[in-house]
Amino acid sequence: MQNLSRRRVLTLGAALGLAGVAAPSEAWAWSSSGSIAATDTVTDPWGVWDDATDPLVASLLTNGQIPAVNTAFDSWVRNGDPLPTGVPAPLTTYLRQVNVLPSWADQTKLNRAAAFNKRMSMYLFLLYGLGSGIMSTVIPREARNVYWSEGGADMKARAAKTFTYGYDLSAADAFQPSGHFVVTSNKTRLTHAAVRHLLPQSARWRAVTDDQDFIPISNGDILITFHSLGTYVHGKLKGWGIRMTAAEEDAYLHQWQVALHLLGVRDDFIPASWAAAKQQSAYALTPLLAPTPEGIDLAEILLGLTAQIDLGVTRGFLNEFVRYVLSDRIGDWLNLRRDYAARTLIEVGWPAYVAFREGLSPIIPTGFSMFDKFVRALAMLFLNNGTSATYTPITIPTGNRPGT
């Protein structure tokens, strides 16, 4: 009854128009019959966290052991690497249990997803960066969690760590012994547990959060992040007319299913099909989108960092492309200045650019070189944050945003 009561509180707040309160209009009703577990139960994911990880990390933080763990983790980067030495025994025991793919993981599908990621790389990097990345700033809990956590004080480093996660997932060997993604996922899962322990100690975060349980990053929150990434990108690719086989679409979803599992999301919450994912996203993500002071600030920082790269376009074009791939409503929330000439160019030129690149039109569109430089520059921005030369390790935090 506690979770249902919390939902009723949030629903009342939304109905009254209270600032910063955004939640689905009713208690969670998505059945796990649409999940990979294929059961038929209804459980509120916003009341589920990570029982396997949270007590362990809380203990490591309390005992001051995280700095030594981060040091030990420096050399633990590839899936095939031996588990790090010099860490507390309970952590080693935990890693033995979680540093593996789930029993239902299909390596054939994961290999197909890797090939798909390579073929779609230009679109994926663009949509993950200017679509999903900026969408995260209008997911109230995510924006507040990021802003008030330790990483929120240095968004350049925080963004690089996010790039690292996305790069490792998109790599050709993501799930192979030579790849990094399983290890990166485990480090991210431990980081989430640390944030769950630390953020409730921040008076500033507690003053603005709409999470009545005062425990961030629930299974529901991670699902929302997945929908802002995988489900959103899949929908955009379909909407742009990108040709994908059914097997490729299934493989791309399977990659995300495994990723969710590795982050500690229960199998009965993980959608089994894109139809189920879209249904869950429309129910869980869309009603939550709303502006916050933290999100507006984060969006400006992220777009400012992107604008520092030579993209071959103006900041007005960048603003309008964000509006184009998200919506004018979100653009207005984030106070993105309009550039109507750039918008016209995008609305006419981008579909023509995609059609030519995909072999659907033999005509090289006007502005092709500009769009091509723009897309390639964004891809390099993504890739450069994932190469060994600029690799930004994911580390477990020991505090919140300074001064909170």
pLDDT per residue as tens digits for the range 344-367: 999 999 999 999 999 888 888 888
Taking residues 23-44, report their average pLDDT.
82
Q: To 5 degrees, how large is the angle CA 79–CA 166–CA 238?
A: 125
Res 11: pLDDT: 35
Cα 24 to Cα 288: distance, rounded to the nearest angstrom: 7
Res 212: pLDDT: 73
Confidence at 26, pLDDT banded by 50, 70, 90: low
Task: Give Cα separations from 378 to 127, 353, 383 (angstroms).
Answer: 10, 16, 9
In this predicted structure, the answer to whether residue 112 has a pLDDT above a threshold of 80 is yes
Res 98: pLDDT: 97
Res 383: pLDDT: 66
In this predicted structure, the answer to whether residue 377 has a pLDDT above a threshold of 70 is yes
In this predicted structure, the answer to whether residue 19 has a pLDDT above a threshold of 70 is no
Res 167: pLDDT: 86
pLDDT digits (tens, 9 = 90+) for 58-107: 999 999 999 999 999 999 999 999 999 999 999 999 999 999 999 999 99
State the DSSP code for 147.
H
Res 385: pLDDT: 55
Q: What residues have CB less than 8 Å from 103, skipping those under 6 apart?
A: none
Q: Smallest Cα–Cα separation from 136: which of 197, 211, 217?
A: 217
Residue type, 163: F
Look at 158 and 303; give whichever has higher pLDDT: 303
Domain boundaries, the chain: 53-75+87-95, 108-392
Cα 391 to Cα 163: distance, rounded to the nearest angstrom: 9
In this predicted structure, the answer to whether residue 12 has a pLDDT above a threshold of 70 is no
pLDDT digits (tens, 9 = 90+) for 240-276: 999 999 999 999 999 999 999 999 999 999 999 999 9
Taking residues 288-307, report their average pLDDT.
93
Res 158: pLDDT: 79
Taking residues 113-124, report their average pLDDT.
95
pLDDT digits (tens, 9 = 90+) for 191-241: 999 999 999 999 999 999 987 789 999 999 999 999 999 999 999 999 999
